[in-house]
Structure 1
Amino acid sequence: MADSSRPCTVWLGSETGILKGVSVSQKKAFNFCNSTHLSREHEVRALCWSDPVETEVLVASVDGNVKTFSVEKGVFTDGRRCGDPGEGCFVGLAVLSDTSLATCAESGVLRVWKEDSSEPAVQLSAGTNVCRMRQNPTHRHKVATGGKDTCLKIWDLEKPDKPVFTAKNLRDDWLDLRQPHWVKDIAFIPGSDKVVTCTGYHQVHVYDPSSPQRRPVMEAKFGEYPLTALSLPATGGLVVVGNTHGQIAMLDLRKGLVRGCLKGLAGGVRGLQCHASQPVVASCGLDRFLRIHNLEDRKLQHKVYLKSRLNCLLLASRPLEVSAVDATQEVKEEEEGREEDEVWDAMEQVEENPKRKTSEEGAERPQESKKKRNKD
């Protein structure tokens, strides 16, 4: 249990179904789960704050349940069914008001749930193969969705009959062939109506719903690998993106130029979030580390090994107590080694085939005999 006087400031969801909290000031990590019922069905896919004062975290898992975790008590206090595993994993979670919650699954089913009802108050289809749903932090009743061959759409959940904005696909290439589209993450740019997306084709797009043009008003590319996550720094004017090869870069939203890269990652980025007031960004992914980088000098300020592959993270809005000294500090777990992935457990042991060995020996004997005859 974390010290209540210094609560966790970073929350992460793992593939093993464990909610992990990290106290940056104490340089410690904590696991919160019911270990007797852990399975891959409890894999955490989305996190969000339940209230503005950040006393509760909503945790969405693969089995379709959304659980409420009390930060102050350090326990799960409530849970409700908000989806079906047959609809795919959760790709987004958002609190619309004190009494309503929005969820979205990979199948594109977007629902609004009221606190006093087990049936959704609103249900609509955002398309197929949806990869992300994000909420507008200024207008909380508005969300954006997008996915593989599913263009960006912005929805007003108070008027859910049709999207308020539907992006148009990119222009055909120079061979007049349709360009594929694959939205992987989305963010609303503060102080404007614009939306920024990153794609599985290493593109960054900026859309302006107030413009008559439904295609991107700005397009940029970074690297050669699919982009998986993005976040907007508090300073504005930049977007931070991460890809499947552990590369993180800062891009200028006006000119589309790369302003710098962050180093130190060793696996695909799955979660990325900039702090609300500080020039830092937290990232997590397949290499099982939480890392916090400074966006001004691009130095690593904090690094924690969390033993499980990580899907998502959630930062508290209060300031993080980090410094460059923390770059070499890692949380040491009492258990030795890393958690074994299920894929390794399921693999069969490969043994040598004695017949193949015999055939190889037999293939060598004629050569040896030939040498002997030549010698004689």
Structure 2
Amino acid sequence: MKFSTSNAKCSSYSGKHVIYVGTHTGSFKKLEPFQENPYLQTNLQQIETLDKTSKVTCMSFGNKEQTEILLGRANHYVKVFNSDSEVAASSFEAGDGEVVGLGRSDGCIVTGIDKGIVKIVRYPETTEFSVGENLAKLRICCEDQNLMVTGGKNLKQIIKVWDLENQKVIFAAKNVRKDMLELEQPVWENDVLFLDRNTIASCSRHGYVRVYDLRGVQRRPVQAYSPPDDQLSFTCLAGNGGYLYAGTTTVGMRAFDIRKMKNHIHVYKGFTGTITSVDIDATGSYLFTSCLDRYVRIHHAHKTAMVYQCYVKSKPTQILGTDYKEKAVVETDDDDLIMIEENENDQVDSEYEDLFAKMQTVKENETTKKRKNDSEFQNPSKLKKSKKRKTNTE
């Protein structure tokens, strides 16, 4: 699909995905590109309740089924949305500052504030501890929810991995070697994530992407990418398998192979602004991105082609993508409605259906006439009596 400033969808895009978008104005929307109207935007929150401080700063799924969405705002409030009922299940105040990270750990909600305060929300008690100022991002490990990674601005906020049970650091990264003037390299971890339980990655406003191995003694990155011209700035990260996808401020998005990161392997085009968030589907085939040019886009991860874009009116700041779960409504004898999932393996025999479709419909008068003839055939005496009556009358 060629670059365009209008809504567009490629005919080859056959994925069934649901996209959730948080915007700079605080609105929270849902898009379903596979529907009859692929550009229809459903607001999941009343716009009248929003103000200038309602900017969506972070979003994440709260469970493996991806039916719970955790949404953090600049006004230090956190909302928990149920994607099935499309309503807010709960809401609470996380602290004083912007929410920069959210996740679930053993059923508890973990929130991170830009001032460096992390809260583990348990009812009726809440655990609170400090991870340092200028916190930029916080994420929970999907494979081990007891692990949390943080990153931010300045050397004190270089990547750290925390044990949430004890609130202690179990891994602290070490900065790369000093430059030729014996000065520390600048640190600004704009986004961090777990590739797996033993591998973490980060991207920076200063133009580098780094990968760390938690199993070794070495605390410096095992793989790293730095542009030769130092004019590149990365904003967000997503990972799947052995690949990293990083959004930039000026030149679109790039893909890296974590086994050799001296050069990127793919470049994704079509953007005219800073990419604010990136997500990838479960199969690793499609990339979902939000951009400050007010567009939401989907790219094929391997072919690098853009297959969908939609103008969302407000500047999108966060994006999440998930697979659509088909459901059907079945009505029982007791007038109770039951939601069941459709089985894709159930196939209809087309020849069997065509056989019934070609059958002629028997009319009521023909049926009555046939029954009458059958009755006369079975009782011939009745036929003789009726003939005699007719003769006598004449």
Q: State TM-score, norm by structure 1.
A: 0.77
Do the aligned partners of 2:70 and 2:103 also contact (CA within 8 Å) in 1?
A: no
Whole-angstrom CA distance in 2 between matches of 1:176 and 1:237? 34
Secondary structure at the aligned position of 1:163 is classed as: strand
Instruction: State the 4+ residue runs in structure 1 displaced beyond 6 angstroms.
Output: none
Do the aligned partners of 1:277 and 1:317 also contact (CA within 8 Å) in 2?
A: no
Q: Structure 1's 202 and 145: CA in aligned 2 closer, same or farther, altered over 3 A?
A: same
Whole-angstrom CA distance in 2 between matches of 1:63 and 1:102? 17
Do the aligned partners of 1:277 and 1:319 also contact (CA within 8 Å) in 2?
A: no
- 1:189-217: CA deviations, max 9, x gaps? 23x51111111111011111211111111
Letter matched to residue 17 of structure 1: G
Task: Name 1:159's counterpart in structure 2.
Answer: 166
Deviation at 1:56, TM superposition (A): 2.6
Task: Name 2:131's counterpart in structure 1.
Answer: 126
Q: Does 1:103 align with 2:108?
A: no
1:1-376 equivalences under 5 Å are 9-26=18-35, 27=38, 28-84=40-96, 88-98=97-107, 100-114=108-122, 116-117=123-124, 119-120=125-126, 122-149=127-154, 150-160=157-167, 162-190=168-196, 193-222=198-227, 224-233=231-240, 236-256=241-261, 257-317=263-323
Deviation at 1:182, TM superposition (A): 0.9
Deviation at 1:23, TM superposition (A): 0.7
Do the aligned partners of 2:203 and 2:237 also contact (CA within 8 Å) in 1?
A: yes
Whole-angstrom CA distance in 2 between matches of 1:146 and 1:297? 32
Do the aligned partners of 1:278 and 1:319 also contact (CA within 8 Å) in 2?
A: no
- 1:57-78: CA deviations, max 9, x gaps? 2221122111122222222232
Q: Structure 1's 30 and 8: CA in aligned 2 closer, same or farther, altered over 3 A?
A: farther
Secondary structure at the aligned position of 2:256 is classed as: strand
Q: Structure 1's 167 and 113: CA in aligned 2 closer, same or farther, altered over 3 A?
A: same
Secondary structure at the aligned position of 1:36 is classed as: helix
Letter matched to residue 21 of structure 1: K
Do the aligned partners of 2:16 and 2:324 also contact (CA within 8 Å) in 1?
A: no
Whole-angstrom CA distance in 2 between matches of 1:199 and 1:14? 22
Secondary structure at the aligned position of 1:131 is classed as: strand
Whole-angstrom CA distance in 2 between matches of 1:206 and 1:55? 30
Whole-angstrom CA distance in 2 between matches of 1:51 and 1:208? 26
Whole-angstrom CA distance in 2 between matches of 1:170 and 1:7? 43
Letter matched to residue 106 of structure 1: D
Do the aligned partners of 1:110 and 1:123 also contact (CA within 8 Å) in 2?
A: yes
Task: Name 2:373's counterpart in structure 1.
Answer: none
Letter matched to residue 214 of structure 1: R
RMSD between superposed Cα atoms in Å: 2.0
Secondary structure at the aligned position of 2:48 is classed as: helix
- Look at both structures and tell me which one has the larger radius of gyration over its CA atoms: 2
Q: Structure 1's 7 and 51: CA in aligned 2 closer, same or farther, altered over 3 A?
A: farther
Secondary structure at the aligned position of 1:103 is classed as: strand
Q: Structure 1's 83 and 39: CA in aligned 2 closer, same or farther, altered over 3 A?
A: same
Deviation at 1:153, TM superposition (A): 0.3
- 1:264-310: CA deviations, max 9, x gaps? 01110110111121411111021111101001111001111101111
Q: Structure 1's 54 and 209: CA in aligned 2 closer, same or farther, altered over 3 A?
A: closer
For structure 2, the 5+ residue unaligned runs are 1-14, 327-394
Q: Structure 1's 34 and 319: CA in aligned 2 closer, same or farther, altered over 3 A?
A: closer
Whole-angstrom CA distance in 2 between matches of 1:221 and 1:173? 14
Whole-angstrom CA distance in 1 between matches of 2:188 and 2:284? 31
Whole-angstrom CA distance in 2 between matches of 1:246 and 1:30? 30
Percent identity between matched residues is 28
Whole-angstrom CA distance in 2 between matches of 1:291 and 1:271? 11
Whole-angstrom CA distance in 2 between matches of 1:158 and 1:255? 35
Whole-angstrom CA distance in 2 between matches of 1:289 and 1:246? 16
Secondary structure at the aligned position of 2:265 is classed as: strand
Do the aligned partners of 1:17 and 1:33 also contact (CA within 8 Å) in 2?
A: no
